[in-house]
A = this chain, B = another copy of it.
Amino acid sequence: MTAIPITIRRARRDDVGAIVEMLADDPLGAARERIEDPLPAAYVRAFDQLDRDPNIQLVVAEEEGVVVGCLQLCVLPGLSSQGASRGLIEDVRVASHRRSRGIGEQLVQWAVCQARGKGCVLVELLTHHTRTDAQRFYQRLGFQRSHVGMTMRF
Protein backbone atom coordinates (compact mmCIF):
# COMPACT_ATOMS: atom_id res chain seq x y z
CA MET A 1 0.00 0.00 0.00
CA THR A 2 1.33 3.43 -0.91
CA ALA A 3 1.42 5.68 2.13
CA ILE A 4 -1.16 8.48 2.15
CA PRO A 5 0.77 11.73 1.76
CA ILE A 6 0.50 13.50 5.07
CA THR A 7 2.58 16.11 6.85
CA ILE A 8 3.42 15.52 10.51
CA ARG A 9 4.13 18.79 12.24
CA ARG A 10 4.16 20.30 15.69
CA ALA A 11 0.68 21.29 16.86
CA ARG A 12 -0.09 24.99 17.09
CA ARG A 13 -2.53 26.78 19.33
CA ASP A 14 -5.04 27.08 16.50
CA ASP A 15 -5.05 23.28 16.12
CA VAL A 16 -6.39 22.73 19.63
CA GLY A 17 -10.05 22.73 18.52
CA ALA A 18 -9.42 20.11 15.83
CA ILE A 19 -7.46 17.95 18.27
CA VAL A 20 -10.15 18.10 20.94
CA GLU A 21 -12.78 17.14 18.36
CA MET A 22 -10.77 14.01 17.56
CA LEU A 23 -10.33 13.20 21.25
CA ALA A 24 -14.09 13.50 21.74
CA ASP A 25 -15.00 11.48 18.65
CA ASP A 26 -14.67 8.17 20.43
CA PRO A 27 -16.85 6.17 22.86
CA LEU A 28 -14.43 6.68 25.76
CA GLY A 29 -13.45 10.24 24.89
CA ALA A 30 -17.01 11.49 24.33
CA ALA A 31 -17.75 11.31 28.05
CA ARG A 32 -14.59 13.16 29.01
CA GLU A 33 -14.33 16.12 26.66
CA ARG A 34 -16.34 19.31 26.26
CA ILE A 35 -16.86 20.60 22.75
CA GLU A 36 -18.06 24.18 23.05
CA ASP A 37 -17.53 27.37 21.12
CA PRO A 38 -15.36 28.96 22.35
CA LEU A 39 -13.45 25.96 23.58
CA PRO A 40 -13.12 25.71 27.39
CA ALA A 41 -10.04 27.71 28.41
CA ALA A 42 -8.54 24.69 30.19
CA TYR A 43 -7.65 23.16 26.82
CA VAL A 44 -5.69 26.21 25.71
CA ARG A 45 -3.95 26.47 29.08
CA ALA A 46 -2.94 22.79 28.82
CA PHE A 47 -1.71 23.38 25.28
CA ASP A 48 0.48 26.29 26.37
CA GLN A 49 1.87 24.21 29.20
CA LEU A 50 2.79 21.21 27.08
CA ASP A 51 4.05 23.40 24.26
CA ARG A 52 6.63 24.93 26.63
CA ASP A 53 7.77 21.50 27.83
CA PRO A 54 11.00 20.42 26.11
CA ASN A 55 10.19 16.73 26.75
CA ILE A 56 6.81 16.82 25.05
CA GLN A 57 5.93 16.89 21.39
CA LEU A 58 2.27 17.16 20.45
CA VAL A 59 2.02 16.73 16.70
CA VAL A 60 -0.74 16.67 14.13
CA ALA A 61 -1.02 14.85 10.82
CA GLU A 62 -2.21 17.14 8.08
CA GLU A 63 -3.69 15.90 4.82
CA GLU A 64 -4.29 18.48 2.13
CA GLY A 65 -4.13 21.24 4.72
CA VAL A 66 -6.65 19.59 7.08
CA VAL A 67 -5.74 18.19 10.51
CA VAL A 68 -6.65 14.48 10.39
CA GLY A 69 -4.66 12.98 13.27
CA CYS A 70 -2.68 13.69 16.40
CA LEU A 71 -0.22 12.10 18.79
CA GLN A 72 1.64 13.18 21.91
CA LEU A 73 5.14 11.89 22.64
CA CYS A 74 6.84 12.42 25.99
CA VAL A 75 10.52 11.54 26.33
CA LEU A 76 11.17 10.83 29.99
CA PRO A 77 14.56 10.47 31.63
CA GLY A 78 14.89 7.82 34.31
CA LEU A 79 17.51 5.71 36.05
CA SER A 80 16.37 2.23 35.02
CA SER A 81 17.83 0.43 32.01
CA GLN A 82 21.18 2.10 32.66
CA GLY A 83 19.80 5.59 32.76
CA ALA A 84 17.99 5.36 29.45
CA SER A 85 15.08 7.59 28.56
CA ARG A 86 11.67 6.14 27.74
CA GLY A 87 9.19 7.37 25.21
CA LEU A 88 5.54 7.52 26.25
CA ILE A 89 3.00 7.75 23.42
CA GLU A 90 -0.40 9.22 24.30
CA ASP A 91 -3.54 10.58 22.72
CA VAL A 92 -3.18 8.93 19.32
CA ARG A 93 -6.24 9.76 17.25
CA VAL A 94 -7.22 9.79 13.58
CA ALA A 95 -10.35 11.63 12.43
CA SER A 96 -13.10 9.02 12.06
CA HIS A 97 -13.68 9.58 8.33
CA ARG A 98 -9.95 9.22 7.58
CA ARG A 99 -9.27 5.96 9.39
CA SER A 100 -7.85 2.68 7.99
CA ARG A 101 -5.64 4.50 5.50
CA GLY A 102 -2.34 4.24 7.32
CA ILE A 103 -2.36 7.68 8.95
CA GLY A 104 -2.14 6.28 12.49
CA GLU A 105 0.69 4.04 11.41
CA GLN A 106 2.66 6.98 10.03
CA LEU A 107 2.09 8.92 13.26
CA VAL A 108 3.24 6.05 15.46
CA GLN A 109 6.25 5.29 13.26
CA TRP A 110 7.19 8.96 13.48
CA ALA A 111 7.02 8.79 17.29
CA VAL A 112 9.07 5.58 17.46
CA CYS A 113 11.68 7.15 15.21
CA GLN A 114 11.81 10.32 17.32
CA ALA A 115 12.11 8.35 20.55
CA ARG A 116 14.91 6.25 19.13
CA GLY A 117 16.70 9.37 17.89
CA LYS A 118 16.49 10.88 21.38
CA GLY A 119 18.20 7.84 22.87
CA CYS A 120 15.19 6.01 24.30
CA VAL A 121 15.56 2.26 24.79
CA LEU A 122 11.83 1.75 25.02
CA VAL A 123 8.57 3.22 23.82
CA GLU A 124 5.47 2.51 25.87
CA LEU A 125 1.78 3.27 25.82
CA LEU A 126 -1.46 2.30 27.50
CA THR A 127 -4.56 1.32 25.54
CA HIS A 128 -7.89 0.72 27.23
CA HIS A 129 -8.51 -3.02 27.52
CA THR A 130 -11.65 -2.68 25.38
CA ARG A 131 -9.68 -1.22 22.45
CA THR A 132 -8.75 -4.56 20.92
CA ASP A 133 -8.42 -3.05 17.44
CA ALA A 134 -5.84 -0.62 18.78
CA GLN A 135 -3.95 -3.46 20.44
CA ARG A 136 -3.79 -5.39 17.16
CA PHE A 137 -2.69 -2.23 15.38
CA TYR A 138 0.20 -1.69 17.81
CA GLN A 139 1.20 -5.35 17.67
CA ARG A 140 1.38 -5.11 13.89
CA LEU A 141 3.79 -2.19 14.32
CA GLY A 142 6.05 -4.22 16.62
CA PHE A 143 4.70 -3.46 20.08
CA GLN A 144 4.22 -6.25 22.60
CA ARG A 145 1.37 -6.71 25.07
CA SER A 146 3.98 -6.98 27.79
CA HIS A 147 2.44 -4.99 30.63
CA VAL A 148 -0.75 -4.36 32.51
CA GLY A 149 -1.73 -0.70 32.43
CA MET A 150 -3.17 0.30 35.79
CA THR A 151 -5.00 3.54 36.42
CA MET A 152 -6.64 5.44 39.23
CA ARG A 153 -9.02 8.17 38.09
CA PHE A 154 -9.87 10.88 40.63
Q: Which residues of A contact B (CB under 8 A)?
A: 16, 19-20, 23, 29, 32-34, 40, 42-47, 49-50, 53, 55-56, 58, 72, 74, 76-86, 88, 90-91, 112, 116, 120-129, 135, 138-139, 141-154
Contacts and interface: CB of A to CB of B under 8 A. Distances in A.
A126 B55 CA distance: 20
A77 B55 contact: no
A113 to B, nearest CB: 11
Contacts of A82: 32-34, 40, 42-43
Number of copies of this chain in the oligomer? 2
A147 B153 CA distance: 12
Given A43-B79, A46-B78, A122-B153, 12 more contacts: A20-B79, A32-B80, A33-B81, A44-B83, A46-B85, A74-B76, A112-B152, A126-B148, A126-B150, A128-B148, A141-B152, A146-B149
Nearest to A31: B81
B77 A56 contact: yes
Given A126-B126, A147-B128, A147-B129, A33 B80 contact: yes
B154 A150 contact: no
Contacts of A53: 55, 77
Contacts of A124: 126, 149-152
Given A122-B153, A142-B152, A83 B127 contact: no
